[in-house]
């Protein structure tokens, strides 16, 4: 019985450690803003819709922006001026 209660308590504690809905929404906004900044960046440098230089030569700019923003949504692309 003691093990069951301990297991339930641990499960509850772990489940309550997740991000709040507001944090999830903010993360989503940051990601989408990053992707938009990435697309704008590639347009500015004349590499849209298909990238023209290594290491992503031939890949679609939107896909590359998504990949980079998944890894580092706050730093992958600067805000446009």
- Tell me the pLDDT tens digit for each residue of 4-53: 777 766 665 565 566 788 999 999 999 999 999 999 999 999 999 999 99
Select the more confidently predicted residue: 66 or 7: 66
Tokens 């507001």 found at:
22
Using the predicted structure, report yes or no on whether residue 2 has a pLDDT greater than 90. Answer: no
* Mean pLDDT within 53-69: 96
pLDDT of residue 12: 58
Q: Which helix (H) or strand (E) holds 43?
A: helix 21-44
Domain ranges of the chain: 25-81
- CB atoms under 10 Å from CB of 52, counted, come to 13
Question: Can you tell me the distance from the alpha carbon of 67 to that of 48, in angstroms, rounded to the nearest whole number?
Answer: 16
């Amino acid at each position: 019985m003691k093990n069951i209660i301990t297991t339930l308590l641990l499960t509850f504690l772990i489940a309550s450690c997740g991000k709040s809905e507001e944090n999830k929404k903010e993360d989503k906004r940051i990601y989408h803003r990053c992707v938009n900044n990435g697309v704008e960046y590639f347009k500015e440098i004349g590499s849209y819709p298909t990238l023209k230089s290594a290491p992503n030569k031939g890949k679609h700019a939107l896909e590359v922006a998504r990949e980079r923003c998944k890894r580092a949504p706050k730093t992958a692309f600067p805000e446009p001026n």
